[in-house]
């Protein structure tokens, strides 16, 4: 089903992007893996059908260039999965101390850039008459407010900007899916629960109590849903947000 399909994966060097890239390679898709860091994906660049492009995604010219070079290489693009997570160095400031500069940069880099990626790839799909797919990664934090009690007494938090950005991603998904449904462009997003990443044991225990049997997830737990959304099996799913959270949001 994925032979001759061409996808761009942003943030391919990260947790979700890397697992997704490996899976797409395994099932025969042609992919361009893009990120500002490439240490984890270097070894995947072993075939002419799997390219690595090191770019900073927060620049619209770079997005245009990425689309142009992918088309030049493979003659078409079937979809893009936006997994990049461009946060500032001071990401996660406590609410009362949040600086306007940090707020402005993170809102633009994470939400604004998602809008610009849509703008450029939708223009490309329309120009080339492609029934393309766009997939964003939102989060459970965009669906429900954080469970603040899970963070109590720990040096970790879930920032307000994150919730607002992730709700924005869900909104952007349904807005654009509605606007372009007559062009047969599908735009969906997934909202994963937290992914295991050396969180304190106390946090993991509290988190698990509000889930089924798994609690924090592995990147592999997310990839299957993204593959489904890229596949023919989801042909008439458009503008949706699919929550993958082992019941956290229930
Ligand atoms: N990890 C989680 O617990 C979790 C849970 C729910 C949703 N998500 C969402 O999933 C998405 C991916 O998360 P992840 O855990 O894989 O993150 P990650 O930090 O592991 O990977 C993100 C990748 O984006 C790249 N990146 C950062 N700035 C960039 C830029 N300016 N240009 C190009 N690439 C850039 C990084 O180098 C990194 O490889 C994010 O949108 C995140 O909010 C993550």
d(CA 83, ligand 1 centre) in Å: 6
- What domain range includes position 138? 6-244
Choosing from 84, 110, 111, 166 the residue with most ligand 1 atoms within 8 A of its CB, the one to mutate for a pocket test is 84
List beta partners, residue 187.
134
Q: Confirm whether 188 is domain-assigned.
A: yes
Q: Confirm whether 133 is domain-assigned.
A: yes
CA pair distance 174, 204, nearest whole angstrom: 32
CA pair distance 195, 227, nearest whole angstrom: 18
pTM score, two decimals?
Answer: 0.98
Q: Confirm whether 148 is domain-assigned.
A: yes
CA pair distance 79, 86, nearest whole angstrom: 20
Choosing from 9, 15, 140 the residue with most ligand 1 atoms within 8 A of its CB, the one to mutate for a pocket test is 15
pLDDT at 246: 98
d(CA 17, ligand 1 centre) in Å: 8
pLDDT at 166: 98
Q: Which residues approach ligand 1 with their CB closer than 6 A? A: 11, 13-17, 35-37, 56-58, 83-86, 137, 139, 192, 194-195
Residue 45 clears pLDDT 80, i.e. is over it: no
pLDDT at 82: 98
pLDDT at 163: 98
List beta partners, residue 186.
133
Split at pLDDT 50, 70, 90, the class of 196 is very high
Instruction: State pLDDT tens for residues 131-187.
Output: 999 999 999 999 999 999 999 999 999 999 999 999 999 999 999 999 999 999 999
Categorise residue 14: left if φ over 0, alpha if ψ from -120 to 50, beta otherwise. beta
- Give start and end residues of each alpha helix (H) in the chain: 15-26, 60-74, 100-106, 113-127, 160-179, 201-209, 220-230
pLDDT at 219: 98
Split at pLDDT 50, 70, 90, the class of 46 is confident
Q: Confirm whether 1 is domain-assigned.
A: no
Residue 51 clears pLDDT 90, i.e. is over it: yes
- 162: annotated active-site residue: yes
Share the mean pLDDT of the chain.
97
- CATH number of the domain at 102, please: 3.40.50.720
Residue 125 clears pLDDT 90, i.e. is over it: yes
Structure tokens at 5: 């399909």
Q: Confirm whether 59 is domain-assigned.
A: yes
Q: Confirm whether 97 is domain-assigned.
A: yes
Q: Confirm whether 58 is domain-assigned.
A: yes
Q: Confirm whether 199 is domain-assigned.
A: yes
Specify the number of domains making up the chain: 1
pLDDT at 13: 98
d(CA 152, ligand 1 centre) in Å: 25
> Which one of 7, 162, 180, 207 is the catalytic residue?
162
């Amino acid at each position: 089903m994925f032979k001759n399909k061409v996808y761009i994966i942003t943030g391919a060097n990260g947790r979700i992007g890397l697992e997704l890239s490996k899976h797409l390679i395994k099932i025969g898709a042609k992919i361009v893996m893009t990120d500002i860091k490439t240490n984890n994906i270097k070894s995947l660049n072993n075939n002419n059908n799997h390219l690595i492009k090191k770019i900073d995604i927060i620049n619209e010219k770079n997005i245009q260039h990425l689309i142009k070079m992918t088309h030049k290489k493979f003659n078409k693009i079937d979809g893009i999965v936006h997994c990049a997570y461009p946060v500032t160095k001071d990401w996660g400031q406590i609410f009362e101390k949040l600086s306007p500069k940090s707020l402005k940069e993170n809102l633009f880099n994470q939400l604004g850039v998602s809008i610009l990626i849509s703008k450029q790839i939708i223009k490309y799909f329309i120009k080339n008459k492609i029934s393309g797919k766009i997939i964003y990664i939102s989060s459970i934090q965009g669906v429900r407010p954080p469970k603040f009690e899970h963070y109590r007494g720990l040096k970790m938090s879930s920032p307000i900007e994150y919730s607002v950005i992730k709700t924005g991603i869900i909104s952007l998904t349904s807005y654009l899916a509605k606007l372009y449904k007559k062009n047969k462009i599908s735009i969906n997003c997934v909202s994963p629960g937290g992914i295991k990443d050396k969180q304190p044991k106390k946090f993991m225990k509290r988190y698990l109590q509000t889930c089924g049997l798994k609690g924090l997830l592995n990147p592999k737990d997310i990839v299957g849903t993204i593959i489904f959304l890229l596949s023919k099996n989801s042909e008439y799913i458009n503008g949706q947000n699919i929550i993958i959270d082992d019941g956290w949001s229930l």
